[in-house]
Structure 1
Amino acid sequence: MKTLHLTQIAAAVFTLCWAAGARADDLAPKEPEAPVMQKIEVKGAAASYDARRDDTASKTVVSSEEIQKYGDTSVNDVLKRLPGITIGGASGRSGGEIRMRGLGAGYTQILINGERAPAGFAIDSLAPDVIERIEVLRAASAEFSTQSIAGTINIVLKKALKAAQHEVKLSEGKGSHFSSPGLSLQMSDKLGSTSYSFGGNAWRYMYNRMTPSFEDGADADGMPNLRRSATWRDQGRSDGFNLSPRINWTLENGDTLTSQSFFNLNQFASNSHSRTATELGAGPDYDRIDSTYSAHNGFGRTDLNWIHKLDQGAKLDLKAAISDARNTSDSHQVGGNGGLPATLYRIVTSESSEQGFSTQGKFSRPLTFGKPADGDDAALEHAISLGWDAGVTQRDDSRIQRDADLPGSDPINSDEGFSAKVTRLALYGQDEWNLTPSWSVYTGLRWEGLDTRSEGNTFDAVQQRSSVLSPLMQTLIKLPNKKDQLRLALTRTYKAPSTAALIPRKFTSTNNSQTEPDRRGNPNLKPELALGLDASFEHYWGEGGLLSASASVRRIENYTRQGLLYEDERWVSTAINDGRAETRGVELEAKFPLRVLMNNAPALDLRASVSRNWSRVESVPGPDNRLDQQTPLSATLGIDYKTRDNQLSTGGNFSFRNGGPARLSATQGGYSSVRRDLDVYALWKLDPQNNLRVAVSNLLAQDYTTETLYNDANGSLNRTSVANGETQLRVTVEKRF
């Protein structure tokens, strides 16, 4: 009922904004007619271009100014404020999954400069200062991979040189249980036909927090037979940095040659102490566990891009890249029970490396057909592109687990390693043409093939080949009033299983149970295929005003979910294909400056959005048989203000994400609580060279609760965890030189 009320309120707000938009021209201030001279303002095409409004293929672009507004140190904090995008997990905690249409688990495609990041790379470690823009594509296009059932978020690193820039930023973030200092350096300049840019960011994150959890069980008659409570104290430190150098050469014939690199290094160390008290029923295997953990992650990528201009406006764009990623981790666990000497002493070491080579090419050419002699009708203008995207990745992975043979122990030793080679090839063609000045159509066709081969010391060699042909169509119709427009998209997308999900290697849990099972890959997984339909209506009004309403549906075949098995007296979780699923959604968005509604209004920019999602998995009994624990409702509300002299900018943003119960299978379920984030910021331009930025995030400091549920004919088990919320204050000093 609460969700229904929120949806009705959102619809009422949108209707009110729509009525305001319809009257905007009447309310907006009008220039008086000049008695002698008429003023004519001419704007360049580049300045007036708006990707969201003008591109046939739907795309929303988030600018660098918007990205850096709150002084965030993680790109996840930027994304959570965007319409239709949610971040999983608790506020302020790393590792939250990025979701469009409320869907994660690989349904949302995350790209860096148009390519997927390697396994083990944490997107939330990407510093916003190195990002030029973020592109949000709700419908697939042929140029990017169609592994984007929910949509694509393409993070474009800084590349364009608008002017010479030298800037350094020092920041300090502080919460009740953590601190996070940071340093950023951005430099760019031009020397003749050569330009360069360099971005560097370094940070440290230190924390000390307590996470309580609870377990409750009941027998087949519903009588309680288990009650436990546990505390998990965890403290640690993470250090990391990003480097992003770029050099651009403009050749004599007008061609450009660009070298761009990105390097990321993270190291993490922590120690934790878990204590469990049992009030009813049997205790866990270990009621006390002391652990230490350390990890080192490095990633480097460099590419060379050549753009060659041909006759009649044609262009050839070629790029080749190499990458290398290396990850190592070590963990030590000591566990015991009932105050007796330790019966668990476990050491786990893991190493992985991934080397990759990729190449992309695109030939594009504008064409004009059917230009009439009398000039009464418009010519048919085409923008045709043909291209490829190919690559090969070699991954080597090893994991060694050693348990000491202590009195009363049950050692589980393993030495598992594997190597995998993934070869991919994609060929595509796309055509965007203007049928009339107010009607344009985009069509695309992309074929993608994947070949995954792996072998290990504990399983037979595995080879899986898959290919998907994706026809795509999008159209844009601008209505005669030049303020309203309609969009429609029909797409075929897919989700391929990750390499790790295909490897039949087992990861053991310490206290094995239905809610804490071991994990193992499944080499028989098939790609999920989806047929999608998107429709939207957009109304532009005043200067910068936008109202939009959109709806979407996806029908998915070979739906993948986590199955739960009981093997050799241990619970094991593994991914399986399980029939069909469907997801639907509607999204409302409004943004406008207050001055389009009233004369002499302060410089306030307002924005709001509401997204409502539904889904159903056919093989899972209802209710709440949602796809991937889909976020059913999310909303944002924001306001920004600038003084007339632009010396002060301030604003705030409220983000809401609903939770609720979700059923994953006939026996498994989950629950997540509502998440509310309130962030505010202020930027003072002290002088042309110095800025002071202050931001407070997660002002509500709301706790975040999750539950893992299991229920069968023998009874039920419920595990609840609570992540404590805390407010963060961040102060950033920015200096240009």
Structure 2
Amino acid sequence: MSLFIPFRLTALAAALSICLPALAQDKPATTKPEDSKKIQQVEVKGSADSYDPRRDDTATKVVVNSDEIVKYGDTSVLDVLKRVPGITVNSANGRGGEIRMRGLGSGYTQVLVNGERAPAGFTLEALAPESIERIEVLRAASAEFSTQSVAGTINIILKRSVKNRLREVKLAAQASSSSFGPNANLQMSDRDGGFSYSVSASAAQERFDSEATGIEVGTAPGGATDMLRTLAMPQDGQFTFLNLSPRLNWTLAPDNTITSQSFISANRFRNNVHQRTTTLIGSAPLQPDLRTHMGNEGASLATDLSWARKFADGAKLDLKLGISGSEGENLSDRRGAGLDTRVVSENTDRGFKATGKYTRTLDKGHTLAFGWDGSVDDRDDERVERAVFAGPAGQLPDEFTEARVKRLAVFGQDEWNITPQWSMYLGARWEGIRTHVEGNTFGKVDASSSVWSPIMQTLYKLPGSKGKGGDQFRLALTRTYKAPGIGNLSPNRRTSENNSSTQPDYVGNPNLKPELAFGVDISYEHYWAEGALVSVSASSRRISDFTRSLTYFDGARWVVTPSNQDSAVTRTLEIETKFPLKAVMVDAPPIDLRASINRNWSRVESVPGPNNRLDQQTPLTVNLGADYKAGSLSAGGSFAYRTGGQVRSSLNQYVYTWARRDLEAYALWKFDPKRQLRVALANVLGDDFFYENTYADPRFGTQTRSVIFPNSIRVRATYELKF
């Protein structure tokens, strides 16, 4: 499949984005006073004394604005999120990463784009920070969004606001001892009467070259070392992506708006790995010299059309229809001793969604909302494997899989001010999911589940909490869940060349059930000066039908499969503060300080302790930061510390990771209102990535595999121009 397939789908959008500037330039001069008046109104609404979502919303919410998002000149939103309090981005090898709240990932943390699940083929790693308007972090569930949010929800809002004739281009490059890559970003927006548009485009490429090293150690049941191997895994590759996000707005009347928003993405990844295993004790693996070439490329398109209408009685109706589609191709060539294997898999995704929300404000401060969310997603997979082993040729059957997922949710919520100091939020959401999977190598698999989620949140401001000072308490009671994915339900087997207890085959489980969680959140917030905050929050989640991976020997090969096992409990304590230095020091320099600490505990009931933490949970995360701004210079730094340690993930399996320290710094020089240069340093301390997996069984002994992935200091430079 060609990398440039999406352009056949988006020729109209590309042409439109080129033509729109000319259309905007021809707008009559009589519109300028009207536009100026509108800008003035927006500035009044956004004044410092007005609405603050973190402080005033009954539902707890932390908002990261666009200035904070682009501050370090990041090329990926994953780099932005690791500096947000309460969020960690874990990576086993330094590439990509898993977003975690309360130290939990693997589906416990829900990531939304514009309040909805990201379409198939969408990758956060390729999402440019410049295309994001804000990031909302919801520690407790909300009925309006999906309640598949045991740990919490991260809602990424793409840019919506339209400024009068914005033209901005950013040209950047980043480099380290093992990687180099340029990237570019373009932002355009304008309006003409009742029509406005914005276009965000970004492209990036990165080349990398590094060598991971490792060791494998085996111990017999009696305690003697029966295996010792060293690993060398040099690799090189390249990653390229292109994103385009056009948004069109038509204001038919002051209270009647139609909006079209699309997101088009294309990406390509290539990686060559040469794994050399040297055996010092024991028998050599089946493939001691294995060369693997991996590649994938994909293209996706998601577009929706929404209509918002306000009525004379204060009610508002929002309706949205959307479609999405993506194509992907994955290639894996593996060559070794008597082995020549090529695996080609292709997937096609199609989706349709429809959402609606009706909101009305009633007497006594009640704001009622009702809505629905429905979608149908189809996926076709084709996997062809051709293998030639020493001796007779072996051909594995081609695999064809079709899957359909139907989702339907309805919700209702009411938010009202009981007194000037006390507000309440009550909501409920019902979600149902039906999954159908069938293939030529297994029978049909049908699974269905539904979850009823009541939610309560309340905010109480202590008397006298006015202006910029004050104290307030929050309490939330929620019921959330985590649904099994298609890959976990499908009984297809994915094999490993050097099959072992630490490199097993994978088989899905069609009998998986959703994990259900009951949660309690409580927090205290103290606002003591302009821009100054201290927050202390605690939470607990009790999870039933917990899913964990079981590794076993089936008589011929090692296999890992997911299974519902008993229950789990997780608890979190979070402390955060931020304030300008002038709040505590007279005549202080213009420095803003921030700090947060997150301590997480968890226990899986069916796994013996100690260290029987849920989902390899990160026990402790500390974030420190400072920003300075004076005249044309802005600078700052951020330090994040994340503990590691051993986790007992099952009766026989252990995982160990190193503690990690991330030190970053940036500086921004503004030459004039239209030109500026941003320079940033990442991973200043040069920490590597380490991962260790151990399988211990009295019948087979112990086997441990440890790998170190090197990582070095990265330098990014970005030139930004408005025209």
What's 1:434 paired with? 417
Counterpart mapping for 1:676-715 below 5 A: 676-714=661-699, 715=701
**Pairwise CA distance, 1:311:** 2.2
What's 1:7 paired with? none
- RMSD, matched Cα: 1.4
What's 1:443 paired with? 426
Question: Is 2:347 aligned against 1:352?
Answer: yes
- Cα distance in 2, alignment partners of residues 43 and 357 from structure 1: 36
Pairing partner for 2:711 from 718, 725, 730 = 725
Deviations 1:45-71 (A, max 9, x none): 686211000000111110001000000
What's 1:458 paired with? 441
- Cα distance in 2, alignment partners of residues 581 and 511 from structure 1: 33
**Pairwise CA distance, 1:680:** 0.2
- Cα distance in 1, alignment partners of residues 68 and 420 from structure 2: 32
**Pairwise CA distance, 1:75:** 0.5
Question: Is 2:83 aligned against 1:64?
Answer: no
TM-score, L = length of structure 2: 0.92
Residue 120 of structure 2 contacts residue 325 of structure 2 at CA under 8 Å; is this kept in 1? no
What's 1:567 paired with? 554
Task: Structure 2 unaligned segments of length 5 or more: list them.
Answer: 1-43
Counterpart mapping for 1:306-385 below 5 A: 306-336=307-337, 343-368=338-363, 380-385=364-369
- Cα distance in 2, alignment partners of residues 224 and 452 from structure 1: 47
What's 2:463 paired with? 480
- Cα distance in 1, alignment partners of residues 48 and 323 from structure 2: 33
Moved more, 106-115 or 155-164: 155-164
**Pairwise CA distance, 1:119:** 4.3
**Pairwise CA distance, 1:586:** 0.2
**Pairwise CA distance, 1:94:** 2.4
Deviations 1:340-359 (A, max 9, x none): xxx11101000011100001
What's 2:285 paired with? 284
Residue 244 of structure 1 contacts residue 262 of structure 1 at CA under 8 Å; is this kept in 2? yes
Counterpart mapping for 1:387-402 below 5 A: 387-402=371-386
Aligned letter for 2:407?
R
What's 1:376 paired with? none
Residue 226 of structure 2 contacts residue 282 of structure 2 at CA under 8 Å; is this kept in 1? yes
**Pairwise CA distance, 1:212:** 0.6
What's 2:27 paired with? none
- Cα distance in 1, alignment partners of residues 552 and 443 from structure 2: 21
Secondary structure of 1:620's counterpart equals coil
Aligned letter for 1:109?
Q
What's 2:634 paired with? 649
Aligned letter for 1:496?
A
Are residues 711 and 606 of structure 1, via their aligned partners in 2, closer, same or farther at CA, if it must alter by over 3 Å? Answer: same
- Equivalent pairs counted in the alignment come to 676
Moved more, 244-253 or 166-175: 244-253
Residue 119 of structure 2 contacts residue 302 of structure 2 at CA under 8 Å; is this kept in 1? no
- Cα distance in 2, alignment partners of residues 497 and 710 from structure 1: 25
Secondary structure of 2:615's counterpart equals helix
Residue 199 of structure 2 contacts residue 244 of structure 2 at CA under 8 Å; is this kept in 1? yes
Secondary structure of 2:715's counterpart equals strand
Residue 163 of structure 2 contacts residue 191 of structure 2 at CA under 8 Å; is this kept in 1? no
**Pairwise CA distance, 1:95:** 2.2
Aligned letter for 1:312?
D
Residue 297 of structure 2 contacts residue 329 of structure 2 at CA under 8 Å; is this kept in 1? yes
- Cα distance in 2, alignment partners of residues 168 and 435 from structure 1: 48
Counterpart mapping for 1:28-43 below 5 A: none
Question: Is 2:627 aligned against 1:635?
Answer: no
What's 1:84 paired with? 86
Residue 675 of structure 2 contacts residue 721 of structure 2 at CA under 8 Å; is this kept in 1? yes
Question: Is 2:390 aligned against 1:406?
Answer: yes
Aligned letter for 1:732?
T
Secondary structure of 1:251's counterpart equals strand
- Cα distance in 1, alignment partners of residues 179 and 394 from structure 2: 37
- Cα distance in 1, alignment partners of residues 614 and 65 from structure 2: 32
Are residues 545 and 253 of structure 1, via their aligned partners in 2, closer, same or farther at CA, if it must alter by over 3 Å? Answer: closer
- Cα distance in 2, alignment partners of residues 385 and 350 from structure 1: 44
Are residues 411 and 364 of structure 1, via their aligned partners in 2, closer, same or farther at CA, if it must alter by over 3 Å? Answer: same
- Cα distance in 1, alignment partners of residues 215 and 122 from structure 2: 32
Aligned letter for 1:352?
N
- Cα distance in 2, alignment partners of residues 521 and 650 from structure 1: 49
Secondary structure of 2:442's counterpart equals coil
Moved more, 519-528 or 46-55: 46-55
- Cα distance in 1, alignment partners of residues 567 and 680 from structure 2: 45
Aligned letter for 1:348?
V
Secondary structure of 2:365's counterpart equals strand
**Pairwise CA distance, 1:108:** 0.3
**Pairwise CA distance, 1:562:** 0.8
- Cα distance in 1, alignment partners of residues 121 and 394 from structure 2: 29
Aligned letter for 1:489?
A
**Pairwise CA distance, 1:481:** 3.0
Residue 95 of structure 1 contacts residue 122 of structure 1 at CA under 8 Å; is this kept in 2? no
What's 1:50 paired with? 52
**Pairwise CA distance, 1:414:** 3.6
What's 1:588 paired with? 575
Deviations 1:175-218 (A, max 9, x none): 00000100110000111111100000000010001011110011
Question: Is 2:157 aligned against 1:170?
Answer: no
**Pairwise CA distance, 1:568:** 4.8
Secondary structure of 1:260's counterpart equals strand
Residue 684 of structure 1 contacts residue 693 of structure 1 at CA under 8 Å; is this kept in 2? yes
Aligned letter for 2:266?
L
Are residues 568 and 526 of structure 1, via their aligned partners in 2, closer, same or farther at CA, if it must alter by over 3 Å? Answer: same
Residue 94 of structure 1 contacts residue 124 of structure 1 at CA under 8 Å; is this kept in 2? no
Aligned letter for 2:385?
Q
Question: Is 2:587 aligned against 1:600?
Answer: yes
**Pairwise CA distance, 1:313:** 1.1
Deviations 1:484-505 (A, max 9, x none): 0000000000000011111111
Q: Stretches of 4+ moved more than 4 A in 1?
A: 42-47, 409-412
What's 1:226 paired with? 227
Counterpart mapping for 1:421-570 below 5 A: 421-482=404-465, 483-570=470-557
- Cα distance in 2, alignment partners of residues 309 and 453 from structure 1: 40
Task: Structure 1 unaligned segments of length 5 or more: list them.
Answer: 1-41, 337-342, 369-379
**Pairwise CA distance, 1:82:** 0.7
Question: Is 2:579 aligned against 1:578?
Answer: no
Residue 92 of structure 2 contacts residue 691 of structure 2 at CA under 8 Å; is this kept in 1? no
Secondary structure of 2:130's counterpart equals helix
Are residues 520 and 119 of structure 1, via their aligned partners in 2, closer, same or farther at CA, if it must alter by over 3 Å? Answer: farther
**Pairwise CA distance, 1:517:** 0.5
Aligned letter for 1:731?
A
**Pairwise CA distance, 1:253:** 5.2
**Pairwise CA distance, 1:413:** 2.0
